[in-house]
Amino acid sequence: MTLSEAVAIRLDELMLERNITQYRLFKLSGVAQTTIGDIRLQRNKSVSLLILHELSQGLGISLYDFFDCPLFKGDNITD
C-alpha cells in the first residue's frame, strides 16, 4: 500500500469513528473541503504535515494518534 492510500484510509476511519462529514471536518479544522476530498480520493499524493496536523486537531487527536495505526507499521508502506 502506498503512503497516500494509508493516509486516505486512516482519515476515512477516523471520520467514520467520529461520525464527521467532510464538511464538518472542514469547519472543525479549517482545511478546505476540496483538500480533504483530494486526500480521501488519493488525488493529493503529498499531503503536508501541516495539513495532517490541522486535520488531526479538527478530529480532536494528535499527529501521534493519527499515525498510531497498523496501516503505518512494518512493511505495509511500499513507497
- Tell which residue, 12, 60, 52, has the closest CA to residue 31: 52
The pTM score is: 0.92
Cβ proximity of 44 and 38 under 8 Å? yes
pLDDT confidence bin for 73, thresholds 50/70/90: confident
Q: How many other β-carbons are positioned within 10 Å of the β-carbon of residue 40?
A: 17
Q: Which pLDDT score, from 0 to 100, does residue 11 have?
A: 97
Q: Quick one: average pLDDT of 33-49?
A: 93
DSSP E strand stretches across 1-79: none
Q: Quick one: average pLDDT of 14-26?
A: 97
Q: Which pLDDT score, from 0 to 100, does residue 21 have?
A: 96
Question: Considering the chain, what is the average pLDDT of its residues?
Answer: 94
Give the CA distances from residue 12 to residues 9, 58, 79, in Å, rounded to whole numbers and listed in that order. 5, 14, 20
